[in-house]
């Protein structure tokens, strides 16, 4: 065989040069920017841009939320001062009572405060980082088995989900929970690739820490993930069972070590377990914070232990209702369509097919969580739905790209077009609920989505450029609504115990009832009490009638015994009525008051001589004064004022010892009005203080000097 001239020259040059040289390996920075060799050149830069943009958007206007949920911010402040408070999740550095959750969600924020001091950014930036991490994990999980485009779509959908943009800038436990459950799915998918025990054990560890974030809600992902691994892992049955047993053991250890320490710790030397009636974390886990959320039998809650505390109608329609729909449901119908389509496309892949397993894992997590949220009879808030956001995002990313690759088949085109069409129609419905918010967007989304759906339906007959144009238009129309709601969310601060995403006009009441929250402005979150529960702070519905039992015309006047039967009216920030001059908004169950400088000066005078500078009924009230003074304030009765902590006898001992200086007057929460068995303690303490100690007024706030008996 003769050699072509250019081949002969190449051979001669090669012999003269010696052995062939390996091309120099790209540097670490180049590899980081370029990504995997098989990736398109745009894939890694696009990911970097997505994560950078997500971080920048979530950081924008972050300080507008102030301390966000002061209930948790006070515990963060305490953890930044005391390692014991850090470990237990105490509401104050003197360790009187814990928050009504395990402490894992508080730990990153408390460490940030220890390093950088107390402030809004120090508390909320860790939440932003969790959001960016969640986007990265969803991208990585989807990209690993599907295309680069699938990963980017999934990450973008998560980042632009309104409730995700809200909660990854807020200090409730839900941000960390959403991140950890997403990581758990990622670990299981990695384990499924080659029946890797290590990855499955890591999944158990992650779910254990998710339990230490928000107790039993973390376990909603367990049934689908365990079942998917048991069925789809490429290993013999015996090995699969053994691996799942090891993962279960890892979960018990990672989630149980803290519980064991708390339960074995002498109760006299640790804080009271907030949210429980018997000072037991296990009671809290399986009662008020666990099974009680399912059954509605939540002893100590604002519903007073009644079944069905008024948190809206249960049923599958809950996720699409007025209050919840705009938070999470924009792409929920499409995700369900794409889940079915994805399973159909991958049906011939066999038991161990990783693409099929991915649809089963993400889809199973979505359906399980969706079912529980839809039918739970206990306390339910709109922001809980952030747990669904990663699952919806992954299914949208996987499903759209799989159907796009199969677009030569009419059924695949029909499914893809149907997903876009149903999304456009549903966005038209959701945007119609806030007709004054970007009015033109509603029609644009509907028309654009339907045109794109028609184009996708005939994509097989169109040229590639037109087909790509239809796909791009469909993606833009599908994301326009949630992006608009997300940008509105980023533009305003959010404070209080219960917050919602989107424009102020979209913020509904408990369970989705419109107008029940009474937002008076962009930062006016904090409603969501069940009807009739009351909050003693003149809670209003904007300029209309009050919700629950308030004092008089919503002036924030602290009610005395038997004075809480009037209908409240109020409007403005947080929908709390304004109190006397200089007092700021009145405190209550769901948010604390604005604390003026005169009150701070009074409370901090001679603060070092006392363990607690003050005591107040309800954690939100106590938290506001603690954050203002940066000194321990005892939260009598815990969050609802319904925990028997402390009892009257114990509080009298504290007063006799000089441990508490001031008592801040004003009932807060359901406890002081019988919201639970322990609520009697709060009422008894308040009545005893009023009858026996000198009253002082500072900046419109009524205080009682516990060192000065009448």
What's the Cα-to-Cα distance from 35 to each of 30, 83, 154, 189, 202, rounded to whole Å? Answer: 8, 42, 18, 21, 25
pLDDT class for 709, splitting at 50, 70, 90? confident
pLDDT per position as a tens digit, 343-374: 999 998 899 999 999 999 999 999 999 999 99
What pLDDT does 294 receive?
77
In terms of phi and psi (left: phi > 0; alpha: psi -120 to 50; beta: otherwise), the region of 666 is left
State how far the Cα of 171 lies from the Cα of 213, in Å rounded to an integer: 12
State how far the Cα of 358 lies from the Cα of 345, in Å rounded to an integer: 13
Task: Reply yes or no on whether the pLDDT at 520 is more than 50.
Answer: no
What pLDDT does 492 receive?
92
State how far the Cα of 234 lies from the Cα of 52, in Å rounded to an integer: 37
Among the listed ranges 118-127, 129-138, 274-283, which one has the minimum average pLDDT value? 274-283
Helix (H, G, I), strand (E, B) or coil at 83: helix
What pLDDT does 587 receive?
54
- Could you give phi then psi for residue 576, rounded to 5 degrees? -95, 135
Task: Reply yes or no on whether the pLDDT at 567 is more than 50.
Answer: no
Q: How many CB atoms lie within 10 A of CB 307?
A: 12
**Mean of pLDDT values over 218-224:** 97
Q: Where are the beta strands (DSSP E) in 318-451?
A: none
Are 231 and 353 within 8 A, CB to CB? no
What pLDDT does 529 receive?
41
Are 138 and 158 within 8 A, CB to CB? yes
H or E segment and range at residue 232: helix 222-232
Which of 313, 315, 307 lies closest to 374 in space, CA to CA?
Answer: 315
What pLDDT does 509 receive?
39
State how far the Cα of 76 lies from the Cα of 119, in Å rounded to an integer: 10
Percent of the chain residues topping a pLDDT of 90:
70
**Mean of pLDDT values over 458-469:** 81
pLDDT per position as a tens digit, 633-681: 999 999 988 899 999 999 999 999 999 999 999 744 433 444 455 568 9
Mean pLDDT of the chain: 84
What pLDDT does 522 receive?
33
What pLDDT does 553 receive?
32
Task: Reply yes or no on whether the pLDDT at 36 is more than 90.
Answer: no
State how far the Cα of 555 lies from the Cα of 528, in Å rounded to an integer: 20
pLDDT per position as a tens digit, 286-327: 877 777 777 666 665 555 444 444 567 889 999 999 989 999
**Rg of the chain taking only CA atoms, in angstroms:** 28
Q: Where are the beta strands (DSSP E) in 517-659?
A: 612-617, 633-636
Task: Reply yes or no on whether the pLDDT at 564 is more than 70.
Answer: no
């Amino acid at each position: 065989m003769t050699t072509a001239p250019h081949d002969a020259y190449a051979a001669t040059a090669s012999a003269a040069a010696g052995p062939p040289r390996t091309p120099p390996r790209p540097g670490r920075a180049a590899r980081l920017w370029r990504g995997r060799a098989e990736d398109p050149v745009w894939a890694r830069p696009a990911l970097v841009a997505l994560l950078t943009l997500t971080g920048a958007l979530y950081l924008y206007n972050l300080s507008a939320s102030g301390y966000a949920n002061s209930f948790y911010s006070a515990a963060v402040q305490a953890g930044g001062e005391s390692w014991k408070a850090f470990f237990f999740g105490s509401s104050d550095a003197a360790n009187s009572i814990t928050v009504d959750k395990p402490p894992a969600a508080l730990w990153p924020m408390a460490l940030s405060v220890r390093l950088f001091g107390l402030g809004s950014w120090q508390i909320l930036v860790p939440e932003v980082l969790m959001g960016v991490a969640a986007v990265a994990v969803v991208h990585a999980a989807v990209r690993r088995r599907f295309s680069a485009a699938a990963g980017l779509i999934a990450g973008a959908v998560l980042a632009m989900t309104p409730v995700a943009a809200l909660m990854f800038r807020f200090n409730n436990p839900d941000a960390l929970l959403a991140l950890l459950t997403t990581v758990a799915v990622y670990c299981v998918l990695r384990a499924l690739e080659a029946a890797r025990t290590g990855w499955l054990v890591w999944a158990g560890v992650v779910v254990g820490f998710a339990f230490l974030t928000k107790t039993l809600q973390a376990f909603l992902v367990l049934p689908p993930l365990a079942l998917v691994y048991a069925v789809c892992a490429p290993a013999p049955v015996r090995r699969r069972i053994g691996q799942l047993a090891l993962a279960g053991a890892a979960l018990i250890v990672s989630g149980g070590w803290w519980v064991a320490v708390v339960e074995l710790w002498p109760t006299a030397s640790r804080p009271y377990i907030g949210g429980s009636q018997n000072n037991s974390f296990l009671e809290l886990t399986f009662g008020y914070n666990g099974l009680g959320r399912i059954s509605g039998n939540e002893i100590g809650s604002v519903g007073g232990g009644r079944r069905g505390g008024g948190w809206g109608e249960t049923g599958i329609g809950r996720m699409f209702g007025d209050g919840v729909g705009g938070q999470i449901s924009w792409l929920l119908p499409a995700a369900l369509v794409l889940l079915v389509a994805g399973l159909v496309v991958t049906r011939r892949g066999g038991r161990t097919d990783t693409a099929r397993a991915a649809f089963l894992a993400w889809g199973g997590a979505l359906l399980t969580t969706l079912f529980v949220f839809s039918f739970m009879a206990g306390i339910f808030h709109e922001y809980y739905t952030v747990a669904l956001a990663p699952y919806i995002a992954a299914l949208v990313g996987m499903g759209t790209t799989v159907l796009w690759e199969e677009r030569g088949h009419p059924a695949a085109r029909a499914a893809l077009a149907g997903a876009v069409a149903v999304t456009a129609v549903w966005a038209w419905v959701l945007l119609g609920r806030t007709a004054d918010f970007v009015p033109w967007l509603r029609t644009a989304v509907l028309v654009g989505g339907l045109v794109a759906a028609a184009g996708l339906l005939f994509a097989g007959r169109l040229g590639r450029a037109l087909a790509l144009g239809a796909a791009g238009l469909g993606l833009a129309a599908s994301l326009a609504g949630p992006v608009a709601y997300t940008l509105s969310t980023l533009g305003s601060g959010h404070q209080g115990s219960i917050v919602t995403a989107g424009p102020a006009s979209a913020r509904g009441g408990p369970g989705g009832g419109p107008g029940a929250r009474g937002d008076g402005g962009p930062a006016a979150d904090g409603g969501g009490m069940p009807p009739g529960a009351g909050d003693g702070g003149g809670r209003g519905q904007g300029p209309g009638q009050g919700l629950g039992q308030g004092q008089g015309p919503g002036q924030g006047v602290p009610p005395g015994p038997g004075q809480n039967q009037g209908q409240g009216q109020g409007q403005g920030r947080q929908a709390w009525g304004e109190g006397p001059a200089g007092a700021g908004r009145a405190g209550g169950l769901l948010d604390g008051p604005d604390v003026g400088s005169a009150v701070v000066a009074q409370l901090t005078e001679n603060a070092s001589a006392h363990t607690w500078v003050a005591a107040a009924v309800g954690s939100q009230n106590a938290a506001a004064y603690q954050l203002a003074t940066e000194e321990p304030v005892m939260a009598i009765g815990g969050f609802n004022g319904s925990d028997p902590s402390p009892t009257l006898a114990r509080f009298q001992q504290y007063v006799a010892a000089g441990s508490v200086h001031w008592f801040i007057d004003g009932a807060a929460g359901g406890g002081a009005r019988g919201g639970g068995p322990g609520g009697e303690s709060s009422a008894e303490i308040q009545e005893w203080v009023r009858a026996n100690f000198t009253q002082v007024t500072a900046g419109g706030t009524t205080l009682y000097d516990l060192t000065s008996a009448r």
